[in-house]
Amino acid sequence: MTKTRMAAVDVGNDAVKANFGKMEQAFYIPNVVARDMEDRPIIGIEELDEKDPVDNLHIRIHSPALEENNAVYRVGTLATKTDNSTELDPGSNKSEEDQTLVMLLTSIALDAVSSHHFKAGKSDVIDASYTLGTGLPLREVKEGKDVGYRSQLLGSVHQVEFLVTPKYQGKKVNIKFDDVKVYPEGFAAYVNLIMDNDLNVINKELIDKQILIQDIGGLSTDIAVIRNRNVDDDKAQGFPLGVAESLEQIREEIRTRHGVELDSRRDVVDIITRKNDRHHIMVKGSRTNVHDITDRILLELAKKEYRNLRNVWQKNSQTEICYFVGGGSAVLKDYLKALNNKLDGFNIDFFEDEQESIWMMANAYYKLIMDVVNKQTLDESQEAAAAKEE
C-alpha cells in the first residue's frame, strides 16, 4: 500500500499556492483555465521537454465531481496566452466552480508526477493517495458548502492526464484522497500567525487577544473575529467584495485608452506591485504611466474595504489589532494605510513581506494538516502498543 502524501492547497482567486510532502515541493500556478483541443499545435515540438512543465500545463481531467467531465484544458500560464481563457467571476462560489477543482487536481497531479513519491505502473499510470488540507471563504463555510465540497473530493478517484506538457506527456495520475480537511480561510490565517512549521507556538502575545483578520482575496473579503483562540462564527463576516473586479476595470481602461491588451489580471497585479517601473506599461515601445487609472480605481476599492473594517470593528469594540492578509491586501496596502492615518487610526498591521502574505493560507493549511496527521500517527502508535500488551 502506498503511503499517503500531504497536500496543502490554497486555490486563491489569483493563483493556486500549494505545498506538498514536508514542504519539500511547492507550486504557484495562476488561476486561469482555457478549454482546448487534445492535440494543441506547438512551435518547436522537438524542444518541448526543455520547457518548464508549470508554464505549459495541458491536461485532460476526468472526475465525477466536475460538471464538464473529461474536458481538455490549458491551465495557468499557458491558458493566459489564449483568447478564451477564464478566471473566476465576482459573485461565484469557489466551492461550486469546476475551475476550483481543475486547479486543485492539476496542482496535485503535477506533484505526483514530479516528486518521485509515487511509482508509475503499467501504461504510465500513477496511483496517488493524498491527505489534503484546503480552505474556503468564511461565507461559504458558514453556509455549509464545505461539506459538499469535501464529499466531492473524498467520494471519487480523479484522473488527470498530461497531454502536450513538457516531461510528463502521456502520463496519467489517479488521485485518491485518504482524508480532506476544509478550513475557513480566516481561521487558517490565525493559525499561521501563532504557529511555526513545526507547530510550535510563536507570537504568544496574540494567543489571548481579541483580534480581527481581514483577508482580501480576488472575489471575496473575510473578516474573522478571533477570541479565546477560536473564530467567533456569529461575529465573523464575509463580503462578496475583492480585487478581481477592480483589476478587470483597470485592464479594460488600459485597453480602451492605450490599446494595450493585458493577458490576465495577473499582469495588472504585476504592474501595481512590482519594484521597478510600478504603474507603467509599454505602449508602442514607449514607457507610459498609468498611475491615474490604477490610483483612482484602487482607492475606490480601498474605501469600501475600509468601510467593512470600520463596521466590524464597531461591533467588536474590544478588538486590539487587525491583520490584513491575502493577495488583495498586498495590492491595497498603501491605500488602506493612508485612509487609516487620515480617518480612524485603528491598530492595523500588514505583512511587509508580500510573499509571506500571498503564501499565508497554503502555509497555514500545511500546519493544520500536519497536526491532523501527527495526531493520527500518535493514536495508531498507542493502539498498536495497547494491542501488543494484550
Average pLDDT (250-265) is 92
Q: What residues form DSSP beta bridges with 15?
A: 30
% of the chain with per-residue pLDDT over 70:
97
Average pLDDT (254-263) is 92
75, 33 contact by CB (below 8 A) = yes
Average pLDDT (356-381) is 85
Chain center to CA of 225 = 21
Q: Does pLDDT of 43 surpass 70?
A: no
Give the range among 36-40, 332-336, 340-344 with minimum mean pLDDT: 36-40
Q: Does pLDDT of 278 surpass 60?
A: yes
As given in the structure block, the three cell numbers for residue 382 are 498507542
pLDDT at residue 12 in the model: 87
Selected residue with higher pLDDT from 382 and 311: 311
As given in the structure block, the three cell numbers for residue 288 are 507610459
Selected residue with higher pLDDT from 163 and 208: 163
As given in the structure block, the three cell numbers for residue 353 are 513581506
Closest residue by Cα to residue 17 from 185, 150, 239: 185
Q: Does pLDDT of 46 surpass 60?
A: no
Q: Where are the alpha helices (DSSP H) in the chain?
A: 98-114, 138-142, 145-154, 185-194, 244-258, 265-273, 291-315, 327-342, 354-358, 360-389
Mean pLDDT for all residues in the chain: 89
Q: How far is CA 69 from CA 65, 93, 127, in A?
A: 8, 19, 20
pLDDT at residue 42 in the model: 64
Q: Does pLDDT of 286 surpass 70?
A: yes
d(CA 108, CA 237): 31
Burial 56-72 (b: 16+ CB within 10 A, else e): bbbbbbbbebbeeeebb
pLDDT at residue 374 in the model: 84
pLDDT at residue 352 in the model: 66
Amino acid of residue 300? E
Q: Does pLDDT of 231 surpass 90?
A: no
Quickly state the pLDDT bin for 325 (edges 50, 70, 90). confident
Domains (range + CATH), the chain: 5-41+49-183 (3.30.420.40), 188-242+299-358 (3.30.420.40), 244-294 (no CATH)
Give the range among 18-22, 26-30, 371-375 with minimum mean pLDDT: 371-375
pLDDT at residue 1 in the model: 44
Q: How far is CA 192 from CA 138, 219, 259, in A?
A: 16, 22, 42
Long-range contacts of 372-377 (CB under 8 A, 24+ apart): 372/131, 372/133, 372/179, 372/181, 373/6, 373/131, 374/199
Average pLDDT (162-173) is 93
pLDDT at residue 38 in the model: 80
Q: Does pLDDT of 184 surpass 80?
A: yes
d(CA 197, CA 309): 30
DSSP SS3 for 80: helix
pTM here? Answer: 0.86
pLDDT at residue 274 in the model: 85
Ordered DSSP codes for 154-217: HTS-EEEEE-S-TTTTT-EEEEEEEEEEEEEHHHHHHHHHHB-TT--B--GGGTTS-EEEEEE-
Average pLDDT (232-259) is 90
Quickly state the pLDDT bin for 2 (edges 50, 70, 90). low
